[in-house]
Amino acid sequence: MTITYKFIEDCFQSIENEEIPQFDLCKNDSATFTVLKLQCKGNIIASPEEGPRFENSDYTINLFPDALRLAKTKNVDLFLTPEYSIPLNIIEQIISTESMHPPLGKLWCICTQGIEVDVFDQFIKDLKGNAKLVVITDAAENYSKRFFVNSLFYIFKLTSGKLCITPQLKTKSMADRSLECEEVGLSLGSIIYRFGRNQPNQLISLICADSLNQRDVSISKLFECGNESIVLLHPQLNTKPRQDDFSSLRKELFRSNEGSKLVYISQNWAEDSSIAIKDSGDSELIDSPWSSIYVKNNNKNWNNDTRSHRKNNHLKGLGFAYWLDKKVNIWFSSKRENMQFLHVRKPCQLGPMVTTPTIDVKCYESFYPDESRSRWVDAQKLFDEDLNDIESLLTDEYKFPLTAQLEDRDYFFGVSLGKNEESQLIANKDEYCNRLGISIDLYSEKTRVDGIDQFINLANCLREKRLPSHIKGLRENHRFGLNKLNNHNLFSVDSEDVSALVCFVSSEELANKTADILIKNMDPQNKEKICVFSSKKGNVTEIVTFPQYDTSIDASVRVKPRTNISEG
């Protein structure tokens, strides 16, 4: 079916005596909007007849209703759940319980579990018969029927006080090569709603694999007029959210000029959530949720630009990576089960520059379930930053990074691997992160482990007293530390004044190049206090050091000319 984009405001032209409100996240009277987004955890059972179902009673009975209570208490502009998360009875509970209704101008975006077609059709019919509701049925009555539907329910209050229910159906099935769920049973929708006609900011939602629909979900379709500013929601149940097919739309958007007019919010399930096919015994774990907010940042000084609020956000479970290839700030949630309350800068800013926030995303509070799993409480320490995987491998003189603050840890590891602080914060073109100081998720863990191995090799070289003789006073007596003024990370135990920059890199050729770069950028009095270690042609027992240094009395140049290793 061909996909149609439809403004929600246009749906009210034929409805008498009802007026849709202006949504606070779309208006220009404030520079930011607030969002409460849920990263739930649980075991999902999927079948082609019923679709994915999440039947954890702690959520159904306690945590979903408490999340909505918090959304209302915080007066958030937007409440968002991941794909296939909410049972239909919670929608019924919202409708029948006025205290769970969103305030005027606010929007609940709630993704329901798989619903059988007959049940869904009857549910919509029953809603239409409720005089206290207005039900927008364009999407609910125009879809290709199979066995079940995957719906996002928009819920908002009208100016009359009535509640409006607007379901939007998924338009593209997930990859299902074994024909065990969506490819066989998913009913496909044909309408994607827009919120915010004639407003400076619009909202659009793509349900997981909707983003794979290259014909109907593209830059030209999303930005129909070319002057829109869009908050794009992307709720998912996805074991590989950074896989090429799923990230291709995101890459295309931020490669284009429209990327500067976009806030992209992906929301997935938490780590250790499982997806099992009913009666088959096959299951798959989510190990890398990557629930993230993407905002364009062309500032070359992005590192210092984000420094102060990186720390604040990290303490509340919101990490940072800079997607260098696309010049985008990525604010990613901890992989653990959580819910976060954030302020996000709107993509369109119409006020004077002096009123535009310098912070694009700020996390005010994070929550996780209490021990009884009956309510959400303030979360503590959502990131894994204990470095238990290296602590046992380091003796006391090398344990500086274990006790350093995260910012100093990033800086230290960057220098110790022959690079800089920024290298620890950069996500590559496929959104892999190189950061050693925290464990982000399994997707980035291989890159992190490679870096940890290099760091352990550095510590081993120092412990084995392999420092070259031109670096005085440190071979026998040293400890790790950090001086950001000269990038030195190795110090004498007896004196801070005796120090050097040491690092370990992955190859002999890279070590040679790294030494050249470090010498070029180092001030004159410290050019002789550099040592780059590597293994010779991959042999970890045969260590080489650069720069090569001539210690003879009559040497005219201490640092020897660089050798072209690639020729020999």
User: What is the pTM assigned to this prediction?
Assistant: 0.95
- 534, with CB counted inside 10 A (0-12, 13-18, 19+), is buried
Query: What is the DSSP secondary-structure string of 318-380?
Result: EEEEEETTTTEEEEEE-SSSEEEEEEEE-S---S-GGGS-S-SEEEEEEEEE-TTSSSEEE--
Give, for all 568 residues of the chain, the pLDDT tens digit: 789 999 999 999 989 889 999 999 999 889 999 999 999 999 999 999 999 998 778 898 999 999 999 999 999 999 999 999 999 999 999 999 999 999 999 999 999 999 999 999 999 999 999 999 999 999 999 999 999 999 999 999 999 999 999 999 999 998 765 658 999 999 999 999 999 999 999 999 999 999 999 899 999 999 998 789 999 999 999 999 999 999 999 999 999 999 999 999 999 999 999 999 988 777 899 999 999 999 999 999 999 999 999 999 999 999 999 999 999 999 999 999 999 999 999 999 887 776 788 899 999 999 999 999 999 999 988 998 889 888 888 999 999 999 999 999 999 999 999 999 999 999 999 999 989 999 999 999 988 999 999 999 999 999 999 999 889 899 999 999 999 999 999 999 999 999 999 999 999 999 999 999 999 999 999 999 999 999 987 676 789 999 987 655 444 445 555 544 333 3
Residue 18 counted as domain residue: no
Q: Are 199 and 218 in contact (CB under 8 A)?
A: no
Residues 165 and 240 in one domain: yes
Look at residue 261 in the predicted model and tell me its pLDDT: 96
Task: Decide which of 346, 372, 398 is a domain's last residue.
Answer: 372
Whole-angstrom Cα distance, residue 217 to residue 211?
6
Q: Are 149 and 118 in contact (CB under 8 A)?
A: no
Minimal CA–CA distance to 518: which of 419, 416, 430? 419
Structure tokens belonging to residue 461: 């070289």
How far is Cα 36 from Cα 77, in angstroms, rounded to an integer? 8
CB 247 within 8 A of CB 430: yes
- Six token digits for residue 471: 């670096």
Q: Say whether both 368 and 426 belong to one domain.
A: no
Residue 521 CB contacts under 8 Å (≥ 6 apart), including other chains: none
Number of domains in the chain: 2
In this structure, are 417 and 319 located in the same domain? no
Residue 377 lies in a domain: no
Q: Which of 372, 403, 438 lies at the terminal end of a domain, its last residue?
A: 372
Both 318 and 259 in a single domain?
yes
Check whether residue 330 and residue 413 sit in a common domain: no
Q: What is the pLDDT of residue 564?
A: 45
Which residues form the domain of 456? 388-555
Q: For residues 475 and 465, give the distance between their C-alpha atoms in angstroms, rounded to a whole number.
A: 5
Task: Please name the amino acid found at residue 160.
Answer: S
256 in a structural domain = yes
Which pLDDT value is given to residue 178?
65
Residue whose C-alpha is closest to residue 366's, from 354, 357, 376: 376
Alpha helices in 465-533 (DSSP H): 508-521
End of a domain among 372, 399, 419? 372
Q: Are residue 398 and residue 363 in the same domain, yes or no? A: no
What is residue 281's predicted lDDT score, i.e. its pLDDT? 74
343 with 402, same domain? no
Within a 10 A sphere around the Cβ of 556, how many other Cβ atoms? Answer: 6
In a domain, 16, yes or no: no
Q: Residue 334 has which token pair?
A: 């901890």
Is 381 within 8 Å of 335 (Cβ atoms)?
A: no
Specify whether 76 is located in the same domain as 193: yes
